[in-house]
């Protein structure tokens, strides 16, 4: 992170700097509860935000070697991402050209060929069909020059974006990342993926998102674990176009006020998070990087996916225990988040409330809902949901 920005952010969170008025300063806002269960709305969100919009499906460190690949199913579209011997990153629909089974059935691997487990059609990592059992059973046209269907892909700052739609246009990361791109530039040192995990939760995907986008609930819901670690009243959110940055100060943060600003190191005293529209929240702590992403399955069912990466490996002394302690803490807090999110979904669906209300400490969640509305409105007009207008001024 740019040093001037880092110092400025510490000042803002300490209340020592005036900030320009932003959406975060807006008053409380309300959303209709129907947004969380209406089937029509769900279908539109799925199409506009998880089919035609570029979404992050993996981290660069997952494909650091040539001839490596991983699969991804959370968007609802089977995706295969490869880095072939030529070093190029490619994405395909993970669908065999024979009769539609997955070309790669495993989560990840390192190999030059992928063999469909149904009848054995074999592809290279550039997606070309390279062989099949008993080829004489097929006509020349059925087996020559065919390959897996390509998907648009782009990679920046360790994030691998795919547009899960075969006929989708190229991905413009300058627009998708917008103003956060320059800030993410300084946070791309993670070379090792330490863990990937996912959970299915009985709630709308936005209920989970709302939860991850505010710290207001942390002192109480997570009071027996991470609650006492943070000064949630000092949290500072700033929208950056349709994405955003939040600083979650730890209890040690206030001590910075007594120290000279040239000694300030934000990540030693705060969690730094960036939200990448529509569904990814990245976290940088002192010593590792993590993300949580949420994906819709049904109006009342979602997947939460986590990745943890770092510049160190568990082979280093003490690191395995350190990683495990962090995973255990995530397990504990996420089980609390998932439990209350399922409760919220039932509460919203029973008709007790017409709206939910977001206060000033939930400004990030409120801003994301506004951006979802705008992306849906574009998509309904036939304009790509990721065609964000250029920033003013
Ligand atoms: S479906 Fe893949 S080989 Fe038959
Ligand atoms: Fe939480």
CATH (domain of 92): 2.102.10.10
Asked if 205 and 103 sit in the same domain, the reply is no
Nearest CA residue ID for atom 4, ligand 1: 119
User: How confident is the model over 315-357, as pLDDT tens digits?
Assistant: 888 999 999 999 999 999 999 999 999 999 999 999 999 999 9
Structural tokens at position 138: 């097929």
Residue pair 39/263 in contact by the 8 Å Cβ criterion:
no
Q: 148 in ligand 1 pocket by Cβ < 6 Å?
A: no
Asked if 90 and 20 sit in the same domain, the reply is no
How many other C-beta atoms are found inside a 10 Å radius of the C-beta of residue 283? 18
Asked if 144 and 127 sit in the same domain, the reply is yes
- Ligand 1 pocket test, candidate residues 102, 104, 119, 127, most atoms within 8 A of CB: 119
Structural tokens at position 322: 């350190």
Asked if 223 and 324 sit in the same domain, the reply is yes
User: How confident is the model over 177-214, as pLDDT tens digits?
Assistant: 999 998 888 766 688 999 999 999 999 999 999 999 99
> Domain total for the chain?
2
**Which ligand sits nearest to residue 129's alpha carbon?**
1
Inside any domain, residue 326: yes
Decide which of 108, 133, 162 is a domain's last residue. Answer: 162
CA nearest neighbour of 236 among 223, 227, 224, 245 = 245
Higher pLDDT, 321 or 17: 321
Q: 119 in ligand 1 pocket by Cβ < 6 Å?
A: yes
User: How confident is the model over 23-35, as pLDDT tens digits?
Assistant: 455 678 999 999 9
- Ligand 1 pocket test, candidate residues 114, 118, 122, most atoms within 8 A of CB: 118
Residue 209: in which H helix or E strand, if any?
A: helix 205-212
Inside any domain, residue 32: yes
Averaged over 133-150, what is the pLDDT? 90
User: How confident is the model over 30-83, as pLDDT tens digits?
Assistant: 999 999 999 999 999 999 999 999 999 999 999 999 999 999 999 999 999 999
Q: What is the pLDDT of residue 11?
A: 87
CA of 97 to the centre of ligand 1 (A): 7
Inside any domain, residue 149: yes
User: How confident is the model over 226-238, as pLDDT tens digits?
Assistant: 999 999 888 889 9
Residue pair 176/385 in contact by the 8 Å Cβ criterion:
no
Asked if 357 and 314 sit in the same domain, the reply is yes
The CATH number of whichever domain residue 289 belongs to comes to 3.90.380.10
Asked if 218 and 312 sit in the same domain, the reply is yes
Inside any domain, residue 88: yes
Calculate what percentage of the chain has a pLDDT beyond 70: 96
Range of the domain at 75: 55-162
Nearest CA residue ID for atom 3, ligand 1: 119
Decide which of 111, 135, 162 is a domain's last residue. Answer: 162
Nearest CA residue ID for atom 1, ligand 1: 99
How big is the CA angle at 173 (ends 210 and 267), to the nearest 5 degrees? Answer: 55
Inside any domain, residue 293: yes
Can you say whether the dihedral through the CA atoms of 117, 123, 124, 125 is positive or negative? negative
Asked if 184 and 256 sit in the same domain, the reply is yes
Q: 105 in ligand 1 pocket by Cβ < 6 Å?
A: no
89-93 and 270-276: which strand pairing? Answer: unpaired
Q: Round to whole Å and give the CA distance between 312 and 293.
A: 23
Residue pair 171/152 in contact by the 8 Å Cβ criterion:
yes
Measured CA distances, 168 to 263, 280, 298, 305 (Å): 47, 21, 23, 24
**Which ligand sits nearest to residue 132's alpha carbon?**
1
Q: What is the pLDDT of residue 16?
A: 61
Q: What is the pLDDT of residue 21?
A: 42
Mean pLDDT over the full length of the chain: 92
Surface-to-core class of residue 391, CB atoms within 10 Å of its CB (0-12 exposed, 13-18 middle, 19+ buried): exposed
Inside any domain, residue 391: no
């Amino acid at each position: 992170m740019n040093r001037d920005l880092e110092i400025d952010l510490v000042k803002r969170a300490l209340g020592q700097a005036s900030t320009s008025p932003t959406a975060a300063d807006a008053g409380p806002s309300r959303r209709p509860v129907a947004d969380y269960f209406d089937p029509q709305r769900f279908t539109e969100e799925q199409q506009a935000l998880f089919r035609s919009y570029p979404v992050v499906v993996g981290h660069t460190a997952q494909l650091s070697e040539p001839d490596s690949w991983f699969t991804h199913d959370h968007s609802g579209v089977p995706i295969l991402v490869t880095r072939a011997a030529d070093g190029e990153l490619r994405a395909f629909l993970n669908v065999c050209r024979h009769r539609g089974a997955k070309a790669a059935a495993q989560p990840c691997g390192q190999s030059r060929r992928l063999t469909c487990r149904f009848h054995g059609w074999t592809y290279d990592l550039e997606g070309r069909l390279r062989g099949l059992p008993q080829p004489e059973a097929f006509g020349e046209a059925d087996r020559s020059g065919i390959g897996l269907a390509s998907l648009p892909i782009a990679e920046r700052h360790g994030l691998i974006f795919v547009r899960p739609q075969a006929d989708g246009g190229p991905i413009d990361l300058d627009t998708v990342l917008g103003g956060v791109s320059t800030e993410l530039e300084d946070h791309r040192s993670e070379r090792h993926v330490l863990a990937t995990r996912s959970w299915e939760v009985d709630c709308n995907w936005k209920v989970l998102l709302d939860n991850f986008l505010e710290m207001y609930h942390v002192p109480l819901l997570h009071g027996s674990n991470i609650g006492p670690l943070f000064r949630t009243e000092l949290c500072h959110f700033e929208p950056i176009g349709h994405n955003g940055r939040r600083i979650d100060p730890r209890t040690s943060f206030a001590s910075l006020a007594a120290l000279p600003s040239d000694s300030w190191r934000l990540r030693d005293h705060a969690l730094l998070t960036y939200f990448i529209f529509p569904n990814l929240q990245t976290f940088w702590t002192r010593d590792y990087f993590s993300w949580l992403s949420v994906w819709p399955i049904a109006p009342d069912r979602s997947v939460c996916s986590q990745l943890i990466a770092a510049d160190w490996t568990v082979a280093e002394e003490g690191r395995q225990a350190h990683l495990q302690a962090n995973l255990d803490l995530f397990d504990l807090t996420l089980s609390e988040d998932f439990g209350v999110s399922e409760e919220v979904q039932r509460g919203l669906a029973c008709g007790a409330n017409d709206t939910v209300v977001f206060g000033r400490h939930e400004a990030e969640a409120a801003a994301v809902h506004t951006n979802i509305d705008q992306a849906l409105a574009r998509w309904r007009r036939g304009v790509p949901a990721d065609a964000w207008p250029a920033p003013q001024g």
